[in-house]
Amino acid sequence: MPRKRVAILISGRGSNMVALIEAAKAADYPAKVALVISNRPQAGGLSHAQAAGIATQIIDHRTFASRETFEQELQRTLDVNGIEIVCLAGFMRLLTPWLVSRWEHRMLNIHPALLPAYKGLDTHERALADGVKIHGATVHFVVPEMDSGPIIAQGAVGVRDDDTPDTLAARVIKVEHKLYPLALALVAAGKVSVVDGRCKTEGAAEPATPLISPEI
């Protein structure tokens, strides 16, 4: 089966982008990172993608008169490059329903919390303030409502009594780097379907939810 052509959208250093690129180097990985797009010309992840031999493109949102024209150019670029799956990896732009609808169940995002808890920003601070004992990350399909799409996979860490937002974030990012390649592989291999707003994973006796050791 041909590997699915993937575009990764970034705005910064793209650490999850790096994890996806590294995973896709395996011969049996079902997806190929064909393109990295940044809306910020100075995004640090661009140089890593270029060093890995991956095509990159800058679509600076500040040069467009409206969000709509920016997204039209983004869609045109994805089409021209034959992209089949889009992965958001620290892409700091809210996308409109116009674009999201064109990528239904083909656009993925990773969020640093166990959704549906802690949507939005400052997830680690909020989790610590609430005194939760388990925190983590979620990969989900993108829908127009922020951080609300069907959940593909989740990974968890235990919260320590002496955690700060920074120490907790450092452990969660390690989970993200394992989780995103796993979730993309499931989607690219055609093993994930959405039934009644929930993801079903083909052939999985257990949900696609790897609980990561609290020692991470």
Radius of gyration of the chain (CA): 17
Q: Tell me which residue has tokens 């034959």.
A: 82
User: Catalytic: which of 48, 105, 111, 124?
Assistant: 111
Q: How far apart are CA 108 and CA 96, in angstroms?
A: 15
What is d(CA 65, CA 62) in angstroms, rounded to the nearest whole number?
A: 8
Beta bridge partner(s), residue 31:
4
Distance CA 29, CA 164 (A): 36
Identify the bridge partners of residue 8 per DSSP, sorted by sequence position: 36, 87
User: How far is it, in rounded angstroms, from Cα 61 to Cα 69?
Assistant: 9
Query: Catalytic: 111?
Result: yes
Cis omega (within 30 of 0) for bond into 116? yes
Quick one: tokens of 115? 């959704």
Query: What residues have CB less than 8 Å from 88, skipping those under 6 apart?
Result: 8, 9, 107, 108, 109, 110, 142
Phi, psi of 34 (to 5 degrees): -95, -20
Tell me the catalytic residues: 111
